[in-house]
Structure 1
């Protein structure tokens, strides 16, 4: 793997080229407003419309896997959680069009509530981002920006049509979008759907890996005046018949193996925003917004011995929030962003459990009742623009309060002492030196934090992993301090980024396996608690080099290492070393080709004490993807027909972060032949 990566770098600096210079890459997530990535002291990954569309990926996890510094924790084909620099779903913030997606997920992934067919752009900011995004942004932020429309000088219409089929899961998906605009109105509508069956791994079918999904999103913008705009957005996604093969556990002789599944899941989001652009000697921009976000889930635990569900759980996580932000330009040397945001999330699970020993009697057993989290944050960020330096300073104060009417049942029930409030200060500093387009060294030092979520505070009940989990309403927030050094640049034919980082997490929140057994159910007990300290270090590299105007070489690599200082052992589920190299040939019209090779090292640094022996060492593996197609183009219309083969050599493997019975984790998708068609007009 090292030799292959070195070969790519050698080719990139020795082969002749006559390539056009690319436009600067823009991000809106890193600073809260549009800025060039070369002027941002963070490691950032941006995936654009064409990359998303050509990938043919269905889930966020599939799309992001292999990107530098990013891994995927999965419990099924649908339930995939991005992991940024070793930090998992609770420690990163997922945004849709800049709006926080809150939900306490027992199985599955909040990121999977985003349909990639409707996404125009994905921006990933790696490292603490709590100054702008509050609790949970310790590891970073992923912002999914949906396809939309903008105002145009004259009436305009554009849109896309796409279809995709694959052999591994005998699946099919289709999507369409349309955008209408004129000087004062802009409307966009997106509709998509898919139907996937159980997929084939190299050693057989992975049962319960299929699902169905449909989604709709739309937004409308109206220009009240040359300086005022309102925007209304609505999104709905429905996913049916989702199972989580990674949740399979042996419960007891009566129940046998059990598996968690979700017959139905829905996500709804409504947003109203107002923008005012004040122009004068001192420029000022104002943005205010209100939003409502609801995630509804039906969750079941299915017993293979009983051939029926023995746990049913229906729950809504409902969030109402809003924000006011000011962008101020007092002079040419300062760009100030200030604001306040607030949200309230409520959850009230309705759970029934069939009681032992016969499991025929159904009993209400809510893990908690009327849980609530309320967060309010104030932040200030100043970007100082000097001749060659860009310096970014930020600070934030948050107040997060959690409360519930009740937690647990029976002997574990508690109705008092459940309210607690966290007052947290986070900050960030960063500087990038723009020596030239090719050389932009940067340094950042930032502190992020995460307040305990609703389930960690209040859920005291059995879960699908076979344990009784004991909540802790008085958990302290976990905090991390991250130092990052990096270099990024672009010149005539090459773009590159490199970063090294060290992150110290204090008070990491985790469910620790205990030696206690619940006398009523016979299940072992996990206690939610704060760990003393975790250290994470890592290295990331990415490179893209033009051989000519349409032929590119690309490569990336990631290395991470974690230490659990409390247990004096490797940190739980740290991704192994990996590298990706590839070639892409993509002219404006005619034949196109791309291929990528991904190599992942073995991982034998595992947590034995913390995981109670449930984390296994994993072998290394390598996969190859091959794609080719033809682009039919004419004035105003672009058609692409594309054929791809994933896992070309039908390798048998699973990612290190795949959940499942020790030694029996679900295998990754085997060889698949995929056909895609898309049309832009």
Structure 2
């Protein structure tokens, strides 16, 4: 079993703790982690459970603590995120290796799962993520529900929205079970605006592992049910009210791990949710969505002429994707009913491989992937395409403490089913798909530096640049509806840096900075780019007490994309205190937005304000 774990994590990076000990990150249920080319290890960022100051509404709250990740879209329970300015269908989100594809125009996210059920997570940045195929052109958010052997009960209550969170988790030997319940009323903004953020959700997990002759079988089921989920929007409640009356998700998976360095898996994601939008004095509409994501994967480690190599087969299929829109449109004299239905399917087959070798002191990685995609619909002719992508990485140790990484990779993104085929009202307005859209392609490069200055200080930095062709842009027509078009070319460039300082064994400081630029063929700024941001996080440990302090300064933004608004600079200050009462129980107090700052979560023109200052009381008991 130890050999298999080493195989699955062959490319896993090493983290250094305050005592300069190297900790290997293991994700058993993410077999393609070993296929992430070396550059992903240069610039991967890992979620840190010690950051207890997060609002923890969805996993997006935790991801924004990582350099290179920012929020985009309107906010609330369906808050989406961007990696280095890549957003919407350009980044892949997966849970235990299962890709999450929800066909939401703002992008896919794992908001339907309580964050407390996701115990490990990391973000892969850089062009090497092309090995994951379409919808991973800008990176991968990989989340895992693996947990340690223990039984835990945790709960929290929060001021402002009267939020309640309860989690039960149990793992013993080969059996895991978990249940989470969340409920919250509408938040208030610092200016007393009511935010449409209410929701109620229950999610759970059952997993069982069994040993057979020569392999280990893992069976898992992750269900989720939500209702009365508010859709945050600046237009609420005067101009527009949007919500999701009901949302159902079910993720099932069977995985086989062999003793001869192979992994095979089958998975299924069923989703069924409704979206309701009332645009006062204009229309009242309901969209109903359902769909199945089916897939399989084979991963094999081989040795070719002494070189460690991996190859694999991917199968991803979208079946029964159906979006029904029924709405009433107001004219001068009456309400006119309009209806539309989208029925579509998609199949994606791929083969991919990676090989690693060393020449002198330099480590090299080369990856290739070929994808074949077909989309079918009753409303249009079949669309098919094939794409070959490559990734190359080199890691040069300049000294015992300094490593220099170089990454070059190509990527692509096939238009989503909704971008090509959807027609109907959404919280954004009337969306009309464009069947003539071409796939996006990219060539990305980055140079990264990792410098272990001393036992107390480490430095990380990365400069990156992407050239994109056929960039898919959403725009508003003269008739007032939204549709999509291909731009000839676009560019994204940026810089991110992080300094970690372990002071005296009790204090840890994390300083980070990021900035970015991007423009299209007409020198117009792209949507969803990061504003310039500087942050400082301090963690203090003393006997049975822990203290965290997070200070984030976002600079003013006066150069924005076509669907964005200029924003003033703002400062967000969060803090938390945790006390270990006994060996089994801890309590904590977290204060979010300590100074009651009025600010927006993103540059999106429809983004609502973020919540006012709030206090969260939490406790956790282990058995």
TM-score (norm 2): 0.91
Query: What is the match of residue 192 of structure 2?
Result: 204
1:131 Cα deviation after fit: 4.1
Name the larger-Rg structure.
1
SS at match of 1:605: coil
Residues 54 and 633 (structure 1 numbering): CA distance in 2 closer, same or farther, change over 3 Å? Answer: farther
Q: 2:345·2:376 contact (CA, 8 Å) conserved in 1?
A: yes
Of stretches 567-576 and 266-275 in structure 1, the one that deviates more from structure 2 is 567-576
Alignment of 1:188-203 (within 5 A): 188-203=176-191
Query: What is the match of residue 44 of structure 1?
Result: 44
Q: Is residue 484 from structure 1 mapped to residue 446 from structure 2 by the alignment?
A: yes
Q: 1:44·1:124 contact (CA, 8 Å) conserved in 2?
A: yes
Deviations 1:373-412 (A, max 9, x none): 1111110111224553221100111011111102xxxxxx
Residues 615 and 504 (structure 1 numbering): CA distance in 2 closer, same or farther, change over 3 Å? Answer: same
> In the comparison of the two structures, how many residue pairs are matched?
603
Query: What is the match of residue 526 of structure 2?
Result: 571
Query: What is the match of residue 12 of structure 2?
Result: none
Q: Is residue 642 from structure 1 mapped to residue 598 from structure 2 by the alignment?
A: no
Which residue, 236, 240, 247 being the options, matches 1:265? 247
Distance 2:503 2:406 in 1: 31
SS at match of 1:87: coil
SS at match of 2:530: coil
Alignment of 1:62-461 (within 5 A): 62-106=61-105, 109-148=108-147, 158-181=150-173, 186-225=174-213, 227-246=214-233, 248=235, 257-278=239-260, 285-305=261-281, 310-330=284-304, 334-346=307-319, 347-357=321-331, 360=335, 362-366=337-341, 368=342, 370-386=343-359, 388-406=361-379, 417-436=380-399, 438-461=401-424
Structure 1 runs of 4+ aligned residues shifted over 6 Å read 35-39
Deviations 1:218-260 (A, max 9, x none): 21111113x411110100112211122327389xxxxx82333
Residues 30 and 220 (structure 1 numbering): CA distance in 2 closer, same or farther, change over 3 Å? Answer: closer
Residues 130 and 76 (structure 1 numbering): CA distance in 2 closer, same or farther, change over 3 Å? Answer: closer
Of stretches 573-582 and 354-363 in structure 1, the one that deviates more from structure 2 is 354-363
Q: Which runs of 5+ in 2 are unaligned?
A: 1-16
SS at match of 2:131: helix
Q: 1:229·1:274 contact (CA, 8 Å) conserved in 2?
A: yes
Q: 1:373·1:402 contact (CA, 8 Å) conserved in 2?
A: yes
1:89 Cα deviation after fit: 2.3
Q: 1:571·1:606 contact (CA, 8 Å) conserved in 2?
A: yes
Q: 1:165·1:674 contact (CA, 8 Å) conserved in 2?
A: yes
1:58 Cα deviation after fit: 2.3
Q: 2:157·2:617 contact (CA, 8 Å) conserved in 1?
A: yes
Q: 2:40·2:124 contact (CA, 8 Å) conserved in 1?
A: no
Query: What is the match of residue 575 of structure 2?
Result: 626
Which residue, 523, 534, 538 being the options, matches 1:583? 538
SS at match of 1:248: coil
Which residue, 609, 614, 619 being the options, matches 1:672? 614
Residues 169 and 294 (structure 1 numbering): CA distance in 2 closer, same or farther, change over 3 Å? Answer: same
Residues 39 and 88 (structure 1 numbering): CA distance in 2 closer, same or farther, change over 3 Å? Answer: closer
SS at match of 1:532: strand
Query: What is the match of residue 528 of structure 1?
Result: 484
1:533 Cα deviation after fit: 1.1
Distance 1:35 1:315 in 2: 33
1:70 Cα deviation after fit: 0.8
Q: 1:41·1:444 contact (CA, 8 Å) conserved in 2?
A: no
Distance 1:39 1:401 in 2: 30
Which residue, 492, 501, 506 being the options, matches 2:469? 506
Q: 1:511·1:527 contact (CA, 8 Å) conserved in 2?
A: yes
Query: What is the match of residue 281 of structure 1?
Result: none
Alignment of 1:577-616 (within 5 A): 577-587=532-542, 589-607=543-561, 611=562, 614-616=563-565
Q: 1:84·1:140 contact (CA, 8 Å) conserved in 2?
A: yes
Deviations 1:75-109 (A, max 9, x none): 23211111001111210000111121122014685
SS at match of 1:113: coil
Q: 1:249·1:465 contact (CA, 8 Å) conserved in 2?
A: no
Distance 1:527 1:314 in 2: 20
Q: CA RMSD in A?
A: 2.6
1:59 Cα deviation after fit: 1.1
Alignment of 1:459-470 (within 5 A): 459-467=422-430, 469-470=431-432
Query: What is the match of residue 10 of structure 1?
Result: none
Distance 1:596 1:355 in 2: 47
Distance 2:56 2:492 in 1: 29
Q: Which runs of 5+ in 1 are unaligned?
A: 1-17, 150-156, 251-255, 279-284, 407-416, 518-523
Distance 2:565 2:55 in 1: 31
Distance 2:488 2:26 in 1: 35
SS at match of 1:652: coil
SS at match of 1:132: helix
Distance 2:35 2:350 in 1: 23
1:110 Cα deviation after fit: 2.6
Q: 1:131·1:379 contact (CA, 8 Å) conserved in 2?
A: no
Distance 2:390 2:156 in 1: 44
Q: 1:206·1:667 contact (CA, 8 Å) conserved in 2?
A: no
Residues 193 and 658 (structure 1 numbering): CA distance in 2 closer, same or farther, change over 3 Å? Answer: farther
Distance 2:255 2:602 in 1: 42
Residues 129 and 317 (structure 1 numbering): CA distance in 2 closer, same or farther, change over 3 Å? Answer: farther
1:452 Cα deviation after fit: 0.5
Q: 2:564·2:604 contact (CA, 8 Å) conserved in 1?
A: no
1:619 Cα deviation after fit: 0.5
